Chains A and B, each alone.
Chain A
Amino acid sequence: MINRLFFLLGSRALSFVSELGKILLLFIRSVVWTFIPPFRLRNFIKQMEFVGVNSLFVVVLTGMFTGMVLALQSYYGFKTFGGESLMGGIVALSLTRELGPVLTALMVNARAGSAIAAELGTMRVTEQIDALEVMAINSVQFLVVPRIWAGVLMVPLLTAINIFIGIIGGYLVGVVLLGINSGVYITKMTNMVVTSDLVQGMVKSVFFGLVLTLVGCYKGYNTSGGAEGVGRATTEAVVVSSVTILISTYVITSLLF
Chain B
Amino acid sequence: MIRLVNLNKSFKSQRVLKDLNLTIPSGKTTVIIGRSGGGKSVLLKHIIGLIRPNSGEIWIDDEELNQLRERDLYRIRKRFGMLFQEGALFDSMSVGENVAFPLREHQDLKQSQISEKVAEKLALVGLTGIEEKMPSELSGGMRKRVALARAIALEPDILLFDEPTTGLDPIMTASIDHLIMETQKRFQMTCVVISHDIQSVFRIAHNIAMLYDGKIIEEGTPEDFRRSANIVVQDFLQGRVNEQAH
- Chain A contact residues, CB within 8 Å of chain B: 38, 122-123, 126-128, 130-131, 133-138
Contacts and interface: CB of A to CB of B under 8 A. Distances in A.
A127 B70 CA distance: 20
B55 to A, nearest CB: 22
B84 A136 contact: no
Interface stretch (B20-28, B98-106, B111-119, B177-185): B98-106
Nearest to B82: A134
Given A130-B45, A131-B82, A136 B77 contact: yes
A136 B106 contact: yes
Contacts of B90: 123, 128, 131
Interface in B53-102: 70, 74-75, 77-78, 80-82, 84-86, 88-91, 101-102
A127 B84 contact: yes
B160 to A, nearest CB: 8
Chain B, interface SS category: mixed
Given A126-B86, A130-B84, A131-B90, A137 B50 contact: no
Contact of B77 (A123, A126, A127, A134): A134
Contacts of B91: 122, 126, 128
A128 B88 contact: yes
Nearest to A138: B74
A123 B84 CA distance: 13
A135 B105 contact: yes
A18 to B, nearest CB: 15
Given A126-B88, A127-B85, A127-B86, A134 B74 contact: no
B53 to A, nearest CB: 17
Contacts of A123: 90
A130 B81 CA distance: 12
Given A127-B85, A136-B78, 18 more contacts: A123-B90, A126-B88, A127-B84, A127-B88, A128-B90, A130-B50, A130-B88, A134-B48, A134-B82, A135-B77, A135-B101, A135-B105, A136-B74, A136-B77, A136-B105, A137-B105, A138-B70, A138-B74
A61 to B, nearest CB: 28
A131 B84 contact: yes
Query: Which bucket holds chain B's interface residue count?
Result: 20 to 34
Contacts of B81: 134
Contacts of B78: 136
A131 B77 contact: no
Contacts of B89: 128, 131
Contacts of B101: 135
22 contacts: A126-B86, A126-B88, A127-B85, A130-B50, A130-B84, A130-B88, A131-B82, A131-B88, A133-B50, A133-B77, A134-B50, A134-B77, A134-B81, A134-B82, A135-B77, A135-B105, A135-B106, A136-B74, A136-B77, A137-B74, A138-B70, A138-B74
Contacts of A135: 77, 101-102, 105-106
Contacts of B82: 131, 134
Contacts of A126: 86, 88, 91
